[in-house]
Amino acid sequence: MQLRYNFRLYPGVGQRAALACAFGCARVVYNDALRARETAREQGLPFPRIGDLSKQLITGAKNTPERAWLGDVSAVVLQQSLRDLDAAYRNFFAGLGGKRIRMGAPRYKSRKDTRQAVRFTANARWSITPGGKLRLPKIGDLKVKWSRALPSPPTTVTVVKDSAGRYYASFVVETGPKEILPKVAPEVGIDLGLAHFAVLSDGRKIKSPRFLRRAEKRLKKAQRELSRKQKGSCNRHKARLKAARAHARVTDARREFHHQLSTQLIRENQAIAVEDLAVKGLARTRLAKAIHDAGWSAFVTMLKYKAARYGRTLIKIGRFEPTSQVCSVCGVKDGPKPLNVRVWTCGACGAVLDRDINAAVNVAKAAGLAVTACGAQVRRAPVPAPRSETGTHPRPHPTGAGRRESLALRPGRKSTTPARA
């Protein structure tokens, strides 16, 4: 499978100017190609192909005084911009046909966009120098913060500038079967929530960090300072960067938490079961901020690709499975319960169940995993003893007529009942 590794870049002043030129040229070619295709659609003509657009908007445009500055950047960057537009159109039409999630039509890019990117393929002859720097054509050698080694030689590299003004190098690498982990016995079901980010079927509860809630005061202050700056001024640009960096810190902390937890679960369990939640629908409720802060979709996506990478199994069960209504001990459906009920007693077997752990066990059972309630917080409710079992005698004793006969046979005691024939 293909994986993407991101590393922080620290370009110099001249290199930042060269990257800004590359971002601008790629944006102009993208917009020109989009305009050409929209014009063909309005006139009822077939869409021009990538080869024709490349000859017209790149090769031919470089010979004109209006687009002569396109020669200041690598031609591969411009070619990849056309491929991005073609991919956007393919995804748009595939969404209309029901082959993938529906998405909007391609739109024009603005020079005021806070996120910009350019991609270099092997044809651009980029390389990693012996000193550990990233050498890009017509840009120079960029300083890279290598946090880990790449598992294989990369095929492409994308230089990204995010909304906080940070630069990243994104490498695409191929991974093989050598990364498959040895098999383990445990299998676990996960119930995702808000009070606890994840509750496991073995009884463990992972508390939700709530990164956005903890940073609300700092974010509020940064957004208030941004709103008071005059539009178009340098101070507003500085305030925007400050607010973007504050939001970036929250995003990075949440992503790091998801990575650590997903890696731990993948290494410890052979199979993992999760519930297919309707996050978009839940995000339209009054709990929208807490749901977005949890980031369930990103976490499940990490579990999915890490399971495929390391030879584990990830199973998704239907979102309409009544995991919170079924007793995990006897399997009787006890009906829906309000959210404030965290512990409930099964009316059939008398088990006292923790709502979240019971749901996690039911998620695992619905996925067909060999998971029981062992280790979970399940206990029996007190049940009155029958009359035949009351008393403090160390040995059981008969009742009724049998009790009278046993008393009659005790030594030293006369029987008061006539003997039977």
Catalytic site positions: 191, 275, 356
- In whole angstroms, give the CA distance from residue 346 to residue 327: 6
Type of residue found at 318: G
* Structure tokens given for 10: 């620290």
CA–CA–CA angle 176, 186, 313 (5° rounding): 40
Per-residue CA distances from 10 to 13, 144, 146, 294 (Å): 10, 6, 11, 31
What are the CB-based long-range contacts (under 8 Å, 24+) for 261-265? 261/197, 261/198, 261/206, 261/299, 262/299, 262/302, 262/303, 262/306, 263/306, 265/188, 265/190, 265/303
Q: Check if the beta carbon of residue 189 is closer than 8 Å to that of residue 362.
A: yes
- In whole angstroms, give the CA distance from residue 415 to residue 405: 9
Per-residue CA distances from 109 to 114, 147, 159, 235, 264 (Å): 11, 32, 17, 24, 40
* Structure tokens given for 191: 């119930």
* Structure tokens given for 21: 């030129």
Beta strands in 255-355 (DSSP E): 271-275, 313-317, 343-345, 351-354
End-to-end Cα separation, the chain, in angstroms:
90
Q: Check if the beta carbon of residue 242 is closer than 8 Å to that of residue 222.
A: yes
167 beta partners: 9, 161
Please tell me whether residue 291 adopts helix, strand or coil conformation: helix
Crossing angle for the helix pair 216-227 and 234-268, to the nearest 10 degrees:
150
Nearest Cα to 370, choosing from 198, 189, 191? Answer: 189
- In whole angstroms, give the CA distance from residue 327 to residue 168: 49
